[in-house]
Amino acid sequence: MKTAVHFGAGNIGRGFIGALFSQSGYHVTFVDIADAIITKLNEEQKYQVKLATEQKEAVTVENVSGLNNLSQEQDVHEAIKGAVYLTTAIGPNILPRIAPLIAKGLAARVKENDEKLYVIACENQISATDLLKGYIFDNLDEETKAAIADKVYFFNSAVDRIVPLQDNQGSLDVLVEPYYEWVVETKEDIPHVEGMKIVPDLGPFIERKLFTVNTGHAVIAYLGYMNGKQTIDQTLADEEIVKQVRATLGETGAYLIHQYGLNEEEHQAYIEKIINRFKNRFLNDDVTRVGRSPLRKLGPNDRLVKPAVEAEKAGLSYTNLARAIASALLFNNAQDEEAVKLQQMISESDIPSVLKEVSGLDTDSAITQEVVRHYDALKK
């Protein structure tokens, strides 16, 4: 049986990417540090993906197993040696940590296997696979880099499926929204995977996804958190917040239309479809999951700052994006490591200096001034 090695047996790993490989006739070897999940995968060898709908339709995912990357290094090398695909859904900040193990696996593989291997990072980050490739190459000698050149291919991708935190008493089953989109950038003819869409240029796809789904999601999460709401759909019961989401997505939309020549009506329909996805009450998606890791979300290339910077460059409005950035700065969730660090930075300094450090914005930039104005207003 063909195999796919997937790093990260979490929500997207089990609920989306691993499920598509399994449905396409692959055995999926999940690699994770969560021992309980790995043990259960090996014991049960299957799980269910359940749709967040009234009917709760379910699909059984079979031909799965697990490896712990901390205690089973050698087995992970063996799995990489024989795989057709190597994918990740582990969080962008974790990619550097798994790179040394992948590098060792690739070095061992190319000594005995001339077949092509396709590496795809499925993370909410622009050019995540390029970044992963860089981290892997930092761990390879020149000879191995040359040896893998025409055998290991790295493709960027965009992944879209809302998978909330799972409240299922340790079961492997995953609740997911019905909608999904996995877009992979390549001009190669690659082995078929159900549900994978191939495009020659990912730019418009990843930006459209990140600056609509994830920008909108972030606005709801931070305003919801600020207003004491538990979930995304509960937050959207507040019409003022829905208005704010539409206004912000109007700004990212104007940038996307300007940058990629998107059809205005189609883009508006895309926005409305996404707002409806957010309203799915069966997802029970916690605002703290969606707002997680605010330092990453405030990064220069991420869902809030990049569209604001691009809108400003293009002479477009960015005041609602500045408000979204301000609301992210107010995310003071004590359970979130990055939120704690962010609040500590703010308490020891000032907003312009924090934005300089975290988002790469000049302290006297027009965006920074606009963020400070909104921050002061929201804080009241």
Ligand X SMILES: NC(=O)c1ccc[n+]([C@@H]2O[C@H](COP(=O)([O-])OP(=O)(O)OC[C@H]3O[C@@H](n4cnc5c(N)ncnc54)[C@H](O)[C@@H]3O)[C@@H](O)[C@H]2O)c1
Could you list the residues known to form a binding site, using ranges: 4-15
Residue 289: CB minimum distance to ligand X, A: 7
Residue 180: CB minimum distance to ligand 44H, A: 8
Count of residues of this chain found to bind ligand X when the rule CB under 6 A is applied: 24
97 binds ligand X (CB under 6 A): yes
* CA dihedral (55, 9, 197, 92) positive or negative: positive
User: 213 vs 321, which CB is nearer to ligand 44H?
Assistant: 213
User: 168 vs 344, which CB is nearer to ligand X?
Assistant: 168
Residue 158: CB minimum distance to ligand X, A: 9
Residue 89: CB minimum distance to ligand X, A: 4
Residue 216: CB minimum distance to ligand 44H, A: 8
34 binds ligand X (CB under 6 A): yes
Residue 131: CB minimum distance to ligand X, A: 12
**Residues in a beta bridge with 197:** 183
User: 106 vs 121, which CB is nearer to ligand 44H?
Assistant: 121
User: 5 vs 162, which CB is nearer to ligand 44H?
Assistant: 162
Restricting to residues 201-230, name those near ligand 44H by CB under 6 A: 213-214, 217
Q: How many CA atoms lie within 13 A of 257 on its CB side?
A: 15
Give the Cα separation of 281 and 54 in Å (integer): 10
Residue 125: CB minimum distance to ligand 44H, A: 8
33 binds ligand X (CB under 6 A): yes
DSSP letters, 220-249, are HHHHHHHTT--BHHHHTTSHHHHHHHHHHH
Residue 18 binds which entry of ligand 44H, ligand X, none, CB below 5-8 Å type-dependent = none
Restricting to residues 204-223, name those near ligand X by CB under 6 A: none
Residue type, 49: V
Of 4, 5, 11, 351, the one binding ligand X (CB under 6 A) is: 11
| Cα 276 → chain centroid | 20
Annotated binding site for NAD(+): 4-15
- Which one of the spans 155-163, 219-227, 246-254, 298-306 is the region binding ligand X (CB under 6 A)? 155-163
User: 322 vs 328, which CB is nearer to ligand X?
Assistant: 328
Cβ proximity of 362 and 356 under 8 Å: yes
77 binds ligand X (CB under 6 A): no
Task: Sort strands 152-155 and 64-68 into parallel, antiparallel or unpaired.
Answer: unpaired
Torsion of the alpha carbons at 302, 305, 308 and 314, rounded to the nearest 10? -70
Single out the residue of 106, 96, 193, 97 nearest to residue 153, CA to CA: 106
Cβ proximity of 90 and 8 under 8 Å: yes
Task: Write the DSSP symbol of residue 93.
Answer: G
361 binds ligand X (CB under 6 A): no
Of 3, 4, 6, 9, the one binding ligand X (CB under 6 A) is: 9
Q: What is the 3-state secondary structure (H, E, C) of 278-335?
A: HCCCCCCCEHHHHCCCHHHHCCCCCCCHHHHHHHHHCCCCCHHHHHHHHHHHCCCCCC
Burial label, 318 (beta-carbon count in 10 A; 0-12, 13-18, 19+): buried
160 binds ligand 44H (CB under 6 A): yes
Give the Cα separation of 180 and 159 in Å (integer): 8
User: 298 vs 316, which CB is nearer to ligand 44H?
Assistant: 298
Contact letters for ligand 44H, residues 99-138 (x by CB under 6 A): -------------------------x--------------
| Cα 91 → chain centroid | 7
Instruction: Dump strand ranges (E) for the chain.
Output: 3-7, 27-32, 46-51, 58-62, 64-68, 85-88, 117-121, 152-155, 157-160, 174-176, 181-185, 196-199
- Which one of the spans 18-26, 76-84, 156-164, 246-254 is the region binding ligand 44H (CB under 6 A)? 156-164
Give the Cα separation of 208 and 211 in Å (integer): 5
Chain residues in the site for ligand X (CB under 6 A): 7-13, 32-34, 69, 89-92, 94, 97-98, 123-124, 159, 161-163
Residues that bind ligand 44H (CB under 6 A): 124, 160-162, 213-214, 217, 290, 292-293
